[in-house]
Structure formats: structure tokens, C-alpha cells
Structure 1
Amino acid sequence: MAGLNDYLVRSADALTAMVERDLSAAMDQAVEAVVTALSAGKPLLISGNGGSASDALHIAGELVGRFLKNRKAYNVIALPANAAVLTAWGNDFGYDTVFSRQVEAHGGPGAVLLAISTSGNSPSILLAAEEARKLGMTVIGMTGDTGGKLAPLCDILLNVPSTATPIIQQGHICLYHFLCEQVEARLADG
């Protein structure tokens, strides 16, 4: 069984692979999309399942609360957070549409959906992205290596070059912390 240092080396190798992939241009577009939406009073909606659901809540916490600066709250909604909607809608109509239903409720032209899926193939995330596109929203995907089926539904793709779920999630944390830092800096200073 490999030890901690081996795991940390694999994690560092994944971060190095992210540097080599150079997601800078895609990240710049993502920051611009979120800043534009929030500046216009439009929401940032975030969807994800499992660990990615926790990431969605984490991001919303950073942007509604604070990341590094004391400033006004931003209009950010973590779609996995509403247990009543998830359980009622999921029970009555099936889980696959629990996020697309909320995109329909809260989204619209000029809004942004951040769709998080390590595989890029989660049915509930794909349907949310399809609904967002129908509504004229910008779709930012945060995925693993290929982007999966989500990639063609995205206007902006931030894909971590790995197929290992925990490593992808670690890459996502780096990406969304940078996104939060940049969005907050632009909005709080501008």
C-alpha cells in the first residue's frame, strides 16, 4: 500500500499537468462570465453531485459570505443545497431533473451555470446544462480529463487532466478558489 508521500507526489503531478494544460484562457473567460453576470444582477447557479455537491456549497459559501475581503454578498445559489426541492422533485419526477428544474426556476439570459462533474457524464448535470443553454445562460463546466458528454454543452471548460476522481476534485478546489479570488477582487475593487 502506498504511503502519504506517494499520494502527495501524485497530487503534485496532477497540479503540474494542469499547469502544462494551461487552463488560463478558459479561467479568464470563466471569471469574466461570472463577473458580468453578477454585475448585472444575474445569478451564478452551481450544480454537482456527491463531492461536487459539497464543492458547490463551498463555492457559494465563499461568494455569498466572503473569500478574502469583506464586501457585499453575491447572488450565488448552490443547487444541491435545497433538500426540500431535491427530495420532493426527485421523489415525484426522478433525480435526473433535480438541477434542471432549479435552473428553470432561477436561471435566465445573462445568468451563469457552473456545472461540476468529475466524469462529465452525470445525467443530472447534463440536463441542467441543457436547460441553461435553452435559457441563454453561459455554461461553465468543471470536469476531469476529457470533459465527457458535458464538454460540448459548455461555453467554457475547465478540465483537470486526470481520470481519478479524488485527484480531479483536488484540482477543482484549486480552480474554484482561484475563480473566487478573481471574482471577488474584480467586483469588490471595481
Structure 2
Amino acid sequence: MSQTPSFLAALARHREVFAVAEQYAAQSQQLLDAVVACLKAGGKVVWMGNGGSAADSQHLAAEFMVRYKAERGPLASIALTTDTSILTAHANDYHFDSVFERQVRGLVRAGDVVIGLTTSGKSPNINLALAAANELGAFTVALTGRDGGKVKDIAQLPIIVNYDETARIQEMHMFIGHWLCEALDLVLAD
């Protein structure tokens, strides 16, 4: 019989990641500045990820469009992970590696902010999409982990959570995302 994982051990690993969270403060401020400039200029924020990072992308796009805490108008944002017809048709007709790149080429304009969430930094579909967004004149951000993978050399702003456990990396990504939403509530208050 296997032993139940310790809640306190998992909490200790969470605290270990968050103990150094201040190292992401300057990059998070750059992210906020880019998003504010984008939205004030009439642009949009585009999110993408795979698996849990896809869910986090959808969650954050919803916080922008609906609200976080403050009552405010919608902030233009979309997650490229939500249209199952596009995802399955593209993966079937072409290849899953280019499923986000295709959407970026169709939806993204110069001045938009494109954010890819990839805990490894090695996701071909995220990397190709961010490269395409760069070509289009968007500002690209990678919320990533471990050593940053290939995406650290593609995104204009890589925020690398230097840890090896996917769940802990995702927790930091969501903290940064929720902080961004809270900051936008204050900066863009009606």
C-alpha cells in the first residue's frame, strides 16, 4: 500500500517557490506596463497553454473580460484554447504544433500582447505561436518554468519560475496572473 502524500510536505514546496517570488517583481511590472499600454491603445491580450496551463489561460482571459474584483468594463482578452472546433480541425488537417500559430496569424495585430504559459518552455505549439506573434509586431510574454526551455529565447519577456515541479510552477503563474488582474483593476479603474 502506498503512503498518502504529506499535505505539509506539499505546502513546504509551495512556500519554497513563493519564498523567492520577489525576484519576479520587476518582470511582473514590465508585464503590467505592456498590458496597460496595449489595452489603452485598443489592443487585446491573447493567452495560450496546454493542459493545466490551458485552463489557467482561460481563467485569466475570463478575469479580464468579466471582472476580477472591481466593477469595470471588459478588458479585451481571449484564450486560444477554448474553440474545440478550431483546435480539432487544425490538429486533424495540419498538425497540433501549429494550432496556436494559426490562430495568432488570424487574430493578433501589432501592439497586442500574447502570453504563452508553458511550464517546460519546450511546447512546440507555444513556441511557434510566440515566434509568429513577434513577426506580427505583438509583445510576447512567456510564463514558464525550470530553465526556461526554448521559449526563453523566443518571448520578449520570459518570466521563468526556476523550479522543477509543474504544480508549483503553475501556482506561481496563477499568482502572477491574479496580481496582474488586481493591478489592472486599480490602474484601469473607470
Class of the TM-score when normalised by the shorter of the 2 chains: over 0.9
Give the total of aligned pairs: 187
State the match for 2:102 in structure 1. 101
State the match for 1:122 in structure 2. 123
Distance of 2:62 and 2:14 partners within structure 1? 25
Asked if 1:158 is matched to 2:159, the reply is: yes
Distance of 1:122 and 1:46 partners within structure 2? 14
CA contact (8 A) 1:112 1:139 kept: yes
- The CA deviation at 1:87 is 0.8
State the match for 1:147 in structure 2. 148
Asked if 1:17 is matched to 2:20, the reply is: yes
State the match for 1:29 in structure 2. 30
1:81 aligned counterpart, secondary structure: coil
Q: Deviations over 1:96-140 (max 9, x none)?
A: 111111111111110110110000000000000110000011001
CA contact (8 A) 2:131 2:155 kept: no
1:72 aligned counterpart, secondary structure: coil
Distance of 2:108 and 2:93 partners within structure 1? 22
Question: Percent identity among equivalent residues?
Answer: 35
Which protein has the bigger helix share?
1
Amino acid of the structure 2 residue aligned with 1:175? I
4+ long deviations beyond 4 Å? none
State the match for 1:110 in structure 2. 111
Asked if 1:47 is matched to 2:51, the reply is: no
CA contact (8 A) 2:120 2:149 kept: yes
2:20 aligned counterpart, secondary structure: helix
CA contact (8 A) 1:14 1:171 kept: yes
178-187 or 30-39, larger mean C-alpha shift:
178-187
State the match for 2:59 in structure 1. 58
State the match for 2:8 in structure 1. 5
1:120 aligned counterpart, secondary structure: coil
Distance of 1:18 and 1:161 partners within structure 2? 10
Distance of 1:39 and 1:184 partners within structure 2? 13
Amino acid of the structure 2 residue aligned with 1:11? H
Distance of 1:87 and 1:113 partners within structure 2? 22
- The CA deviation at 1:18 is 2.5
How high is the TM-score relative to the length of structure 1?
Answer: 0.95
Distance of 2:37 and 2:11 partners within structure 1? 37
CA contact (8 A) 1:43 1:106 kept: no
Distance of 1:49 and 1:3 partners within structure 2? 27
How high is the TM-score relative to the length of structure 2?
Answer: 0.95
1:35 aligned counterpart, secondary structure: helix
166-175 or 50-59, larger mean C-alpha shift:
166-175
State the match for 2:184 in structure 1. 183
Distance of 1:145 and 1:89 partners within structure 2? 29
Asked if 1:138 is matched to 2:142, the reply is: no
Q: Which runs of 5+ in 1 are unaligned?
A: none
Q: Which runs of 5+ in 2 are unaligned?
A: none
Q: Deviations over 1:36-93 (max 9, x none)?
A: 1111111111010000000000001101000011111011010001111111111101
1:61 aligned counterpart, secondary structure: helix
